[in-house]
Structure 1
Amino acid sequence: MSALIEVRDLAVTFGSRQSQVQAVQNVSFDVQQGESFGLVGESGSGKSTVLRAICGLAPTSAGTIKIDGKLLASPRDPAFYAQVQMVFQDPYGSIHPRHTIDRVLSEPLAIHGFKNAEDRIEKALNDVGLGGGFRFRFPHQLSGGQRQRVAIARALILEPQILLLDEPTSALDASIQAEVLNLLDALRIEKGLTYLLVSHDLAVVAHMCERLLVMQHGTRVEELTRTALQGRDATQKYTQQLLVASEGFKAP
């Protein structure tokens, strides 16, 4: 059976011929339906660029991306965004500061022609632990953790199969990070979602992901299971260095 997400020999190049930057080179991986798969590496490793390439927000210069066995169209069509949604790193920057939460959640429903907006908004807010009392608040009236819950609700409101999670807790206080990660874990199980998670934090990846791909300088280093990560059973020097550099990393 084919994977839900198939990335083969992906390359992303920015700039002109005179000043090209190869952000991603020859990266391949599969993500099975219902799985949570991690992309790990230092800043500049190309992991977030992979997510943006899947979404059509970064230019693919080589390779292929398939969702559910189908090559992605360029530009991405509305059906793609009904199936795949992204949660960005910064909850302060990803939500319009002058829009109520109701409007933030209504917009994707209007774009995709859903009629039952009231029910979907209420359900989405309940799913992320906020409730209907947050509908007509503005982002500045919410904490960072609450804003990220709204961002997750916005991603879920179209009932996608796949969430692309770009460092979803790195902008939050440490005390709030675990709450949001546990919420994401519970939602994946409850809704049968598939996650592709980008993080530099090995503890987050060990908590969230069954498998992970380590990246460096835009290239694939090695693929590990959660068990191998927890046992610090890495074969490549770069991965071993990441484990050593992750001060305080503990397998949950």
Structure 2
Amino acid sequence: MSAALHVDNLNVVYDDFHALKDVSISVERGESFGLVGESGSGKSTLLRAVAGLAPISGGAIRIDGEELKGSKRSKAFYRRVQMVFQDPYGSLHPRQTIDRLLLEPLAIHAVTDSDKRIARALDEVGLGNGFRFRYPHQLSGGQRQRVAIARALIVQPSILLLDEPTSALDASVQAEVLNLLEQIRRDRKLTFVMVSHDLGVITHMCERLAVMRSGAVVERLSSEELARGTVQEDYTRNLMIASKGFVKA
């Protein structure tokens, strides 16, 4: 059985800057896989490359065994793979109602029964129909991210790419959104690929992870190994120290 997502020796180059250097990861169906590393390590670039938002200069990406060609993605791809971005303030159009924001992906994919789907999506993320005709500026940060999650889920993908989905939120609502994501993953049997600088979040949400530095994977380990401190690289140990509350310095 092929992996849900397989990345093989992927390279991304911007002008003369090598953002990803021969990166390889494999994520099984239904698994939650984490990417950690310091800022600029390439973890978000990897998600963007999978989503078709970064130029690929070498290597291969396969979804359910099917190789993706270049950076162009088909409509069928976006029915299977959706991305939730870090900043809910920037990812939602400020002049569109929540109803319009959720209707757009349904219209793009020619999905019918939009009213039922929108109501169900809002319900699933804990907002309800009362939020349907509000604008993003009328919602809190946590509510906006719930809308962003609903928008990603509404076309019923099998893989979610999560780029620091709670880092822009207040600490008081981060746990709520993470618990929501974990519940949705279990209910829908989704595959997650999650980027976070917070090792505590990755340990809680993911079974396995890759540690990235300067555009390359420097270590692969399970979340249990990370929690026990059973790591091989000094760089990973330093990340553990730097991750507030994860270990004592």
User: TM-score, normalising length from structure 2?
Assistant: 0.98
Q: Give secondary structure in 1 for the equivalent of 2:89.
A: coil
- Where does structure 1 differ by over 3 angstroms across 4 or more consecutive aligned residues? none
Partner Cα distance (1:247, 1:118) in 2:
43
Per the TM alignment, residue 2 of structure 1 is displaced from its structure 2 partner at its CA by: 1.6
2:41 is the counterpart of 1:45: yes
2:93 is the counterpart of 1:103: no
Pairwise mapping of residues 103-252 of structure 1 onto structure 2 (< 5 A)? Answer: 103-249=100-246
Any idea what the Cα deviations from partners look like across 1:207-240, whole Å, max 9, x if unmatched?
Answer: 1000000000001110010110110111011001
Partner Cα distance (2:231, 2:28) in 1:
22
Q: Give secondary structure in 1 for the equivalent of 2:239.
A: helix
Partner Cα distance (2:241, 2:218) in 1:
16
1:70 to 53, 66, 84: 66
How many residues align structurally? 246
2:52 to 45, 56, 76: 56
Q: Give secondary structure in 1 for the equivalent of 2:120.
A: helix
Tell me the percent identity.
62
Partner Cα distance (1:191, 1:247) in 2:
32
Partner Cα distance (1:81, 1:244) in 2:
37
Per the TM alignment, residue 244 of structure 1 is displaced from its structure 2 partner at its CA by: 1.6
Structure 2, unpaired ranges of 5+: none
C-alpha root-mean-square deviation of aligned residues, in Å? 0.7
Q: Is the 8 A contact 2:212 2:218 kept in 1?
A: yes
Partner Cα distance (1:112, 1:29) in 2:
29
Partner Cα distance (1:42, 1:125) in 2:
34
Structure 1, unpaired ranges of 5+: none
Per the TM alignment, residue 73 of structure 1 is displaced from its structure 2 partner at its CA by: 3.2
Partner Cα distance (1:94, 1:177) in 2:
18
Q: Give secondary structure in 2 for the equivalent of 1:189.
A: helix
